[in-house]
Structure 1
């Protein structure tokens, strides 16, 4: 079995994964800061990921190994869990079932867990929540399970949308309480952007938070909670400056290793 080892960072992960699938990878996993791509035969990889290394390993069922090592992740009132481990969710915890697949967001990354924890601390009953860069839909689904009246997940990658919808169905979240659409803030005339949201959560890298900070403010009710993660500690000043520029207040920082989550309040009505 041929394995292509490629260094991975949060900023480049999704682009690298897409290129590896396109090159013919039969499976992908992340381990110790490396993306491991499994191939049946040698393949030409895109020049952007040509700094990886090929290695021949003994044949194994990588999917079975992945399933064996995956564990439930407790995040506030929810436990993020694959379908085959639902029975391991502790009493009193709400299971958030995510089928691991091509879309980013199984809940095992610190950024996803911190975002679910932050949502779990809010009273979402009756509120509208927007999840920007939804991936597998985990944060929008979490909001719905925590009581949100309606959760919208948007992503520029069309591959993610059917996966997110399937995950919502697995969690028995009805379509009237969740919606997943391809798109981005401020682009087009999508009807999901027709009125401000009560909560906005986004797990994106720092440069995108900087770019989108003004759109976050434009899509939120005055003083609404904002939850941002996907931020490396070294990029924290960039995001804090963006929030200050757009008038966000009550900024608080939480850290987990090299990752940061920011919470803030939307500016008052302008």
Structure 2
């Protein structure tokens, strides 16, 4: 088996993943600070991804190995768990079942775990939560399990939407309490059966994206959130934290707090109250 080792992570080198697929990669994974791309044969690579190294490795059943090493992740009041490990959820914990698949967000990355922990610290009962960049739907589903009246997950990648909906069904989240649509913030492609409630303020907004996008979307975060509403942002590398803090200051967010986990940062804040 031919494996191309490229320095970086899915988050820091996201713009290069399409180039690997286009070059003929049959699979991608992140391991120990490397993106590992699997090929059936040597391929001509784009110059932007030419700083990696080709290696010949023994054939392995990667899916079986992945299932063997995957463990439940405790995140506040929830434990994120694949279906085959549901029996390992500790008593008193709410299981959040995620079938690992194509969409980003199995709960094992520090960014996802920190975001679920932050949601778990809030009283979401009766609130409306917006999850921007929903991926597998894990954060919107977490909000629903934690008592949110309605959780909407939006993503610009149409592949993620049916996966997120399936994960909501696996977790027995009633259709009326969760919704997943293609789009971003107030730009979803369809309003859904409950009306276009995004035209109104949401109570909580959570986004696991990356620093540059948080910078670009900060104004829309402020416009979407009710006054005093919690904002939860993650997917931020520590060296990009100043960019996010400046964006939140620019938009008048208050009570900004930062949590770090290795090279990753979670930022929480509250939308400014009317003056």
Quick check: 2:209–2:235 contact (8 Å CA) kept in 1? yes
| Distance change (3 Å), C-alpha of 1:43 and 1:173 | farther
How many residue pairs get matched?
Answer: 270
Give the equivalent residue in structure 1 for 2:216.
211
Aligned equivalents of 2:13 and 2:137: distance in 1?
Answer: 17
Deviation readout 1:50-69 (Å, 9 max, x if unpaired): 33322111111011111111
Give the equivalent residue in structure 1 for 2:165.
165
The 3-state SS of whatever aligns with 2:74 is strand
Q: CA deviation at 1:193?
A: 2.1
- The question of 1:32 aligning with 2:32 is answered yes
Quick check: 2:10–2:35 contact (8 Å CA) kept in 1? no
Give the equivalent residue in structure 2 for 1:198.
203
Quick check: 1:10–1:230 contact (8 Å CA) kept in 2? no
Deviation readout 1:11-45 (Å, 9 max, x if unpaired): 44444344434444333221101111222333444
Deviation readout 1:71-90 (Å, 9 max, x if unpaired): 11000000111111111111
| Distance change (3 Å), C-alpha of 1:26 and 1:18 | same
Give the equivalent residue in structure 1 for 2:150.
150
Quick check: 2:154–2:188 contact (8 Å CA) kept in 1? no
Give the equivalent residue in structure 2 for 1:243.
248
How high is the TM-score relative to the length of structure 2? 0.92
Pairs within 5 Å for 1:72-83: 72-83=72-83
Deviation readout 1:146-178 (Å, 9 max, x if unpaired): 111110111111111111111111111122111
Pairs within 5 Å for 1:246-261: 246-261=251-266
Pairs within 5 Å for 1:40-59: 40-59=40-59
- The question of 1:262 aligning with 2:261 is answered no
Aligned equivalents of 1:149 and 1:186: distance in 2?
Answer: 19
Aligned equivalents of 1:118 and 1:69: distance in 2?
Answer: 26
- The question of 1:123 aligning with 2:123 is answered yes
The 3-state SS of whatever aligns with 2:144 is helix
Give the equivalent residue in structure 1 for 2:103.
103
| Distance change (3 Å), C-alpha of 1:16 and 1:135 | farther
Give the equivalent residue in structure 2 for 1:114.
114
Deviation readout 1:213-266 (Å, 9 max, x if unpaired): 000010011100110111111111111111111011011111111111111111
Aligned equivalents of 1:175 and 1:13: distance in 2?
Answer: 35
The 3-state SS of whatever aligns with 1:20 is helix
The 3-state SS of whatever aligns with 1:264 is strand
Aligned equivalents of 1:33 and 1:80: distance in 2?
Answer: 23
How high is the TM-score relative to the length of structure 1? 0.94
One of 237, 242, 245 as aligned partner of 1:232: 237
